[in-house]
């Protein structure tokens, strides 16, 4: 599934977990909004979730993730796996076109409608049209700078926003 029109990145580095996203909402080749919030806190502010894709679909999925977090007492791993199972098998959910990144103090996951629950080896996850640019920038910054996770996210988002026409520089950053 290729999701266009945004950039979301998560970086785990130096004991911190951070999720960041841009604020641009595009409809085709037209910018409709510049300051959207695609990163939000869930489950008593213990989980941060960022989304890419169709807005209503993404909100539906983040609401479902929050329900799963409530059901499993904040266990992100269990909630993510159960959401992915529902997303893959439920007739209505299966049609949703979005991707999520969710992070807590211990784990960061990328969730897709094909049932994927991915935790990266290097602590960096990115989705959306600018995701590959942000991910590459973050990987370089982790290896070759002394920046903390928040500043790595900010720099990576700035780089992605300079390359991807569907990503802007109105960045929302949330630490876990």
Q: How many domains does the chain have?
A: 1
Does a structural domain hold residue 52? Answer: yes
* 134 within domain boundaries: yes
Would you say residue 111 lies in a domain?
yes
Which CATH number covers residue 42? 3.60.20.10
For the four alpha carbons of 141, 167, 56 and 1, in that order, the dihedral sign comes to negative
Domain assignment present for residue 58? The answer is yes
Q: Within a domain: residue 120? A: yes
Position 87 pLDDT exceeds 70: yes
For the chain, the average pLDDT equals 93
In a domain, 2, yes or no: no
Residue 3 has pLDDT above 60, yes or no: no
* pLDDT of 4: 58
112 given a catalytic annotation: no
Percent of the chain with pLDDT over 90: 77
Cα–Cα distance between 39 and 36 in angstroms, integer?
9
**Is residue 3 included in any domain, yes or no?**
no
What pTM does this model have? 0.94
Q: How confident is the model at residue 83 (pLDDT cuts 50, 70, 90)?
A: very high
Which residues constitute the domain of residue 134?
A: 8-175
Residue 74 lies inside a defined structural domain of this protein: yes
Q: What is the tens place of the pLDDT at every residue in 20-44? A: 999 999 888 889 999 999 999 999 9
């Amino acid at each position: 599934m290729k999701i266009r029109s945004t950039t979301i990145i998560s970086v785990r580095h130096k004991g911190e977990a951070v999720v960041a996203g841009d604020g641009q909402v595009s409809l085709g080749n037209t910018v409709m909004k510049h300051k959207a919030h695609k990163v939000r806190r869930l489950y008593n502010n213990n989980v941060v979730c960022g989304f890419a894709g169709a807005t209503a679909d993404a909100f539906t999925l983040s609401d479902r993730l929050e329900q799963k977090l409530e059901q499993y007492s904040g266990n992100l791993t269990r909630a993510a796996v159960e959401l992915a199972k529902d997303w893959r098998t439920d007739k209505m959910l299966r049609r949703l076109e979005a991707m999520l990144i969710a992070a807590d103090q211990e784990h960061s996951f990328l969730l897709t409608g094909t049932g994927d629950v991915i935790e990266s080896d290097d602590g960096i996850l990115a989705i959306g049209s600018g995701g590959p640019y942000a991910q590459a920038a973050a990987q370089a910054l982790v290896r070759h700078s002394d920046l903390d996770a928040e500043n790595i996210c900010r720099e990576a988002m700035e780089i992605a926003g300079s390359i991807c026409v569907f990503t802007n520089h109105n960045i929302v950053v949330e630490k876990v």
